[in-house]
Amino acid sequence: MSSNAWVWRLLGRRVRGSGETSTAAPEASIPVYDRDGLRSVHDHSFMQEHSFRKAYDRGVLAAGDYGWQWRVHIGLWAARSASLLCGDFVECGVNRGFLASAVMDYLDWDSLGKQFYLLDTFRGFDERYLSPEDRAGAARERNQHSIESGFYVQSVESVITNFSQWKNVRIIQGPVPETLVQVSAKEIAFLHLDMNCAFPEVAALEYLWERLVPGAFVLLDDYAYVGYGVQKAAMDKMAVTKGVAIASLPTGQGLFIKPPQT
């Protein structure tokens, strides 16, 4: 593990523009990633790879640019790894389809012969499923702000249009866990949970657990994200019952791989 003092000096300085490059000599040539709550001088040359840029741009086409490059990088890595396993893909919490669109572009989706199930209310989360802890943590206020600001989509029609270029996709509208019965996949290789609410995320993982194949990738969008401690606590409790450990990522995500059945 390196502990060069100049690295810490570099990170302590302000970064101009998009946050990719420092302006101070002699470290001016050192690229700095500074987006989405993550600031790092570590290698992020993946951003220049053609396959990544093409996939990321497809996500932007679906939803706009949120500056989520490293978060999407993790999602693409997990999805690519999962594509080598038997089983379909499931995403609970789709909104406009940023990550799913990027994944499907990156993997040339219809060539895989897998189905991608996309579940969402497509109008913000269902407040019936807010726990007292969620309410105390201002989840309701965040939900309302996301609706009023236009961040949350308010109609499924635009989402259907976005995903119309792919055949092997099924869009399921309605609240989780009520809609989980419509996921007919017998095996699941990739599960992405991004519902900004603890109860439906835990319910989805519990409901789909037995169908996750050994080695399946489970990506939690908000697990370590600032302000979402209620979700982390709920998922940690769930993880104990399943005998898994969740990696806390500096992107704010959580990630684990379902272990082989014993």
CATH number, residue 113: 3.40.50.150
Cis peptide before 177 (omega within 30 of 0): yes
Query: What is the pLDDT at residue 11?
Result: 52
In a domain, 46, yes or no: no
22 and 123 in one domain?
no
Of residues 170, 175, 190, 195, the one with CA closest to residue 94: 195
10-14, 86-90, 196-200, 228-232: least confidently modelled range: 10-14
For residues 9 and 131, state if they share a domain. no
On whether both 57 and 185 belong to a single domain, the answer is: yes
In this structure, is residue 87 part of a structural domain?
yes
Residue with tokens 């082989």: 260
| Domain assignment present for 48 | no
Could you read off the pLDDT of 94-116 as tens digits, one per residue?
Answer: 999 999 999 999 999 999 999 99
Q: Which residues contact 108 (CB under 8 A, 6 or more apart)?
A: none
Q: List pLDDT tens digits, range 117-146.
A: 999 999 988 888 888 888 777 788 888 888
Residue 47 belongs to a domain: no
Contact assessment for residue 198 and residue 131, using Cβ atoms and an 8 Å cutoff: yes
| C-alpha to C-alpha distance for 221 and 145, rounded to whole angstroms | 19
Domain match, 10 and 88 both: no
In angstroms, the CA 239 to CA 246 distance is 7
Mean pLDDT of 250-256: 98
Q: Are residues 121 and 219 in the same domain?
A: yes
Give yes or no: residues 36 and 148 share one domain: no
Is residue 208 domain-shared with residue 103, that is, in the same domain?
A: yes
Asked whether residue 28 falls in the same domain as residue 154, the answer is: no
Q: Does the predicted model carry a pTM greater than 0.95?
A: no
Overall number of domains in the chain: 2
Rounded to an integer, the average pLDDT of 229-252 is 96
Q: What is the pLDDT of residue 8?
A: 45
**pLDDT confidence of residue 131:** 80
Taking residues 171-180, report their average pLDDT. Answer: 97
- What are the DSSP calls for the chain, one per residue? ----HHHHHHHTS---TTSSB--SSSGGGSB-EEETTEEE-S--GGGG-HHHHHHHHHHHHHH---S-HHHHHHHHHHHHHHTTSSSEEEEE--TT-HHHHHHHHHTTGGGTT--EEEEE-SSS--GGG--HHHHHTTHHHHHHHHHHTT-S---HHHHHHHGGG-SSEEEEES-TTGGGGG---S-EEEEEE--SSHHHHHHHHHHHGGGEEEEEEEEETTTTSTT-HHHHHHHHHHHHHHT--PEEPTTS-EEEEPPPP-
Domain holding 26, by residue range, is: 5-40
Same domain, 91 and 145: yes
Instruction: Find the Cα–Cα–Cα–Cα dihedral 156, 162, 164, 170, rounded to 10°.
Output: -50
In a domain, 68, yes or no: yes
* Co-location of 167 and 231 in the same domain: yes
The verdict on residue 240 lying in a domain is: yes
Is the residue at 185 inside a domain?
yes
Q: Does one domain contain both 101 and 148?
A: yes
Say whether both 229 and 126 belong to one domain: yes
In a domain, 45, yes or no: no
